[in-house]
């Protein structure tokens, strides 16, 4: 049985929860208290015991983007990357450049000066991208979408950031939220706010 070392409030874990739900793969969850990480997690993923960590078939894997590509290859149906190599490269590019959004997001969380402007710039870029293509993964939902959605849900539902000025982004967010994998994350985020 596949095991996910997980934390509900962790958006990186949410990436992997979305991918596992899309794949319909049964798995066991070990919930980690982020304020009090067990020493075995530090051994699994040194030096600081970050989550997510995935155990499968004797492998102990960390880094959400690595885990998610592993899951897509290990459990190929439904495919979460395009078939065409160029389209796959574009999807991977968005995952690779996630910090263009993540940087301003965490700057805003830390209350840094100028963070709101940097975030608005990143959201505008994302909006333009999503005006030109239906999904960050290309023609259909996939790994690049899963890589961004957790932060956008937290911005909107936990941090009170309005996304109304970004119509393509909100359209994509609404459409993705109809998928059971993402709807489950909307509920998880709501439970964090409660
Ligand atoms: N690059 C890692 C980041 C994972 C990460 O930062 N997880 C957070 C929880 S959301 C964590 O465990 N942080 C540990 C720490 O800050 O000490 C990934 O993509 O999996």
Residue identified by tokens 């909100």 is: 170
Q: Pick the atom of ligand 1 nearest to 10's CA.
A: 10
Mean pLDDT of the 26-43 span? 94
Catalytic residue (choose from 4, 7, 10, 119): 10
Sequence-distant (≥ 6) Cβ neighbours of residue 147 within 8 angstroms: 15, 64, 65, 68, 94, 95, 98, 136
The pick from 8, 12, 158 for probing ligand 1's pocket by mutation, whose C-beta has the most ligand atoms within 8 angstroms, reads 12
CB of 92 closer than 8 Å to CB of 132: no
Residue with tokens 């290990």: 74
Return all residues near 151 (Cβ < 8 A) that are at least 6 apart: 11, 101, 102, 105
**The domain spanning residue 39 has which CATH number?**
3.40.30.10
Confidence (pLDDT) at 36: 93
pLDDT in tens, 35-92: 999 998 999 899 999 999 999 999 999 999 999 999 999 999 999 999 999 999 999 9
Residue 7 — pLDDT band, cuts 50, 70, 90? very high
pLDDT at 194 (0 to 100): 82
- Please confirm, yes or no, whether 13 is among the known catalytic residues: no
pLDDT at 170: 98
Residue 30 predicted with pLDDT over 90: yes
Looking at residue 147, which CATH number applies to its domain? Answer: 1.20.1050.10
Please indicate, yes or no, whether residues 112 and 170 belong to a single structural domain of this protein. Answer: yes
Render pLDDT for 106-164 as a digit per residue (tens, 0 to 9). Answer: 999 999 999 999 999 999 999 999 999 999 999 999 999 999 999 999 999 999 999 99
Q: What is the pLDDT of residue 154?
A: 98
> Which residues of 37-178 form beta strands (DSSP E)?
53-56, 59-62
Report pTM: 0.97
Longest dimension (CA), the chain: 46
Q: Residues 89, 162: one domain?
A: yes
| Containing structural domain, residue 58 | 2-74
Asked if residue 167 and residue 143 are part of one domain, the reply reads yes
């Amino acid at each position: 049985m596949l095991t996910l070392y997980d934390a509900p409030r962790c958006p990186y874990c949410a990436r992997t929860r979305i991918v596992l739900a899309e794949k319909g793969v049964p798995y066991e969850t070990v919930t980690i208290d982020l304020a009090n990480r067990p020493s075995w997690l530090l051994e699994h993923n040194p030096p600081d015991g970050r989550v997510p960590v995935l155990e499968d078939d004797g492998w102990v894997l960390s880094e959400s983007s690595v885990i998610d590509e592993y899951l897509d290859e290990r459990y190929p149906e439904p495919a979460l990357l395009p078939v065409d190599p160029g389209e796959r490269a574009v999807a991977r590019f968005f995952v690779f450049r996630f910090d263009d959004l993540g940087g301003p997001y965490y700057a805003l969380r830390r209350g840094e000066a100028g963070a709101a402007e940097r975030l608005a710039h990143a959201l505008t870029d994302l909006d333009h991208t999503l005006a030109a293509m239906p999904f960050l993964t290309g023609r259909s939902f996939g790994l690049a979408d899963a890589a961004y959605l957790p932060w956008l849900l937290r911005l909107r539902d936990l941090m009170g950031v309005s996304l109304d000025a970004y119509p393509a982004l909100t359209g994509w967010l609404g459409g993705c939220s109809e998928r059971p994998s993402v709807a489950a994350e909307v509920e998880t985020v709501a439970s964090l706010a409660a």
